Amino acid sequence: MEAGNHWQPVTEIYQEIVEQVPASHFDADPMTLVKQARRARAQAEVKVPFGITAITGLYFIRAAIYGLFAAKLVTSSGSALEGWIVAHCPALIPLALSSADPKTLPTTMAEALAVMAVLSLGLGLMWLLRWKPILFISIGMSGYFLAHIAISYYNIAGLGDPYLFTPTQLDLVVVEGALNLLIFLYIALYPGLKRSFQRQF
């Protein structure tokens, strides 16, 4: 029985490249297969879904915004921007700050925003490094944020505080809720996303 060639390309990119090269080329030059395989691997490594790039950038932008807001509150300059941050930014923190002393609220918010900045930076780095567990971490955090908004805003089962979000915060609540919903749905529904995350460290 003659030995057959049972090799099959492992990705669609490999398949497309191999199909473009006649079999006679492989017979004439054995190095052709090696060159084509290297080119296919390079193309596969460079091709990153836009959603991954967008989510990675979003976490870094969040880290920068949270960090700037926290620094502004620490300076306690009494500016209009500081007042805007105190009035609006509790919507960015998935924790209830209603029990905080109004006198120490800016300091409490600054600490919470600093933690959020560090957390967002860490998440962005893990997305940048394609660390596979970050998919589960991000989908869990996005789900938690959405649940926090829903429970607090609608006072589900008496667990939330219907006065947690003031009318001035609703715009940020909608924006943050929409962003977290997009992240949640992208990770949950995008086909083959895990193949872009190969690092296990």
Residue ranges of domains in the chain = 50-196
Q: Model confidence over 8-56: pLDDT tens digits? A: 444 454 455 445 544 444 455 667 766 666 665 555 554 678 899 999 9
Q: Model confidence over 45-100: pLDDT tens digits? A: 546 788 999 999 999 999 999 999 888 888 876 677 777 887 777 777 777 665 56
> Which token pair is 115?
């933690």
Q: How far apart are CA 75 and CA 107, in angstroms?
A: 10
CA-closest candidate to residue 10, choices 31, 41, 43, 35: 41
CA-closest candidate to residue 44, choices 54, 33, 36: 36
Confidence at 201, pLDDT banded by 50, 70, 90:
very low
Q: How far apart are CA 112 and CA 34, in angstroms?
A: 53
**pTM assigned to the model:** 0.69
Q: Model confidence over 150-194: pLDDT tens digits? A: 887 776 655 566 666 777 778 888 888 899 999 999 999 988 887
Burial 67-101 (b: 16+ CB within 10 A, else e): bebbebbeeeeeeeebeebbebbbbbbbeeeeebe
Q: pLDDT averaged over the chain?
A: 76
CA-closest candidate to residue 172, choices 111, 109, 117, 92: 92
Three-state secondary structure call for residue 199: strand
